Chains A and B, each alone.
Chain A
Amino acid sequence: MGSEFGKMLELFISASIVNNFVFTRFLGLCIFFGVSRKMETAAGMSVTFTAVMMVSAALSWVVFNYVMVPLEITFLKIVIFIGIVAGFVQVSDTIMRKVAPGLYYKLGIYLALISTNCIILAVPLINAGEHYSFLQSIAFGLGSGVGFAIALLIMASIREKIEIADVPGPFKGSPIAFVVTGLLALAFAGFSGLITL
């Protein structure tokens, strides 16, 4: 049990900081550049993302190991994982609207956006590829979500400042965001080697 917990902690730190999804694996970039203009939206997005990621990691682990492996249909994993994630997002969208309308008004629009996002889909695919155990999958999903949240919040706070800065013409908008991300990625490269899996 001790080593299982240690492995989970390792996966969590590795997914959130060392192999940060945005800065070293380049996933979820569309959302990353799309919603990092404002701190408030970025915060809402990160909360929703982390929750969806963890649950979809758990759900797809169950489906993968108890349905797809016995039936030998693992080659259909892309189709099935997309279905699971989209279905889960749709269900939580409906439930949230009924049960917690206040929360729905805050986070509802993000839910609709993320159903087909690559970062959400990548977590189950990596879990299946690496043969993680159930708890490890959850730790990995949580770590990825936290990592994404860190990246998004840092970026949002920088971009709020860039908005009022004097940027050279051709670099206005997306290009400057990319250059800033490059510098952040360089900073995060400093963590590499902290944990090697």
Chain B
Amino acid sequence: MAAYHGKNWDLIKNGIISENTIFKLVLSLCPAIAVTNSLRNGFLMGVAVMFVQTMVNITVSLLKNFIHPKIRIPVFMLIISGWVTVTDMSMAAFAPDAYKQMGLYIQLIVAFASIFARAEMFASKNKVVHSMFDGIGMGLGFLFALVAISFFRELLGKGTLWGVPVIDAKPLLIMVLPAGGFLAVGILMAAFNWMNKRYMVSK
């Protein structure tokens, strides 16, 4: 493990910063807006996606020598939907309250372009350990984006964080409404672009 350390870290950094699914690639947006009106939901969704992405990457990487290239797309779909079903059923069992609000979006992880893309572009060509770290990195990037979005939306919209009251007012009620989701993502994305530019230039 130690020998791979530097490279694995790069993989994780890549997933969080340079290829951040939401802010950079602008993919898999549906849940990014749908479930981020509270920090808890955003966090749970991020964890679910991270789990699916990592497990799919590991499975694809393990099976890469047995999958005929011509039928790889249906096989990848099967692997992904298998893991999504696992996540869906465990969510329903362990977090029934959250599942009631976001069950549909958990099931729709299966249609994430980003998960499929990573399986196709990375996991099907690389070693298991690298694929696992790539999955973790992409998942962490997604988790980071969801937590950032839902942090601002819950704080500004409800004045709470993780359901705990933080400030005594509801400064911007619009943030928890659907419209606020789009606005929050747009503004955060602009901030992310701006910081990236600053960072690149100063380096």
Residues of A within 8 A of B (CB): 23-30, 33, 75-76, 78-79, 82, 86, 116-118, 121-122, 125-126, 129, 168-171, 174-179, 181-183, 185-186, 189
Contact = CB atoms under 8 A, between A and B. Distances in A.
Contact of A23 (B78, B81, B178): B178
A193 to B, nearest CB: 14
Contacts of B77: 82, 86, 116
Given A33-B26, A78-B84, A117-B111, A178 B104 contact: no
B72 to A, nearest CB: 14
A174 B179 contact: no
Contacts, number: 115
Contacts of A181: 182, 186
B110 interface: yes
Contacts of B112: 118
Closest 10 CB pairs of A and B: A178-B186, A182-B182, A182-B183, A185-B179, A29-B29, A186-B179, A179-B186, A118-B111, A170-B194, A175-B190
Contacts of B197: 169-170
A170 B183 contact: no
Contacts of A118: 30, 108, 111-112
A77 B47 CA distance: 23
Interface SS of chain A: helix
Given A30-B29, A30-B113, A174-B26, A78 B88 contact: yes
Contacts of B27: 30
A79 B178 contact: no
A75 B89 contact: yes
A116 B111 contact: yes
Nearest to A113: B113
Nearest to B180: A182
B179 A26 contact: no
Contacts of A76: 85
Contacts of A27: 30, 34, 108
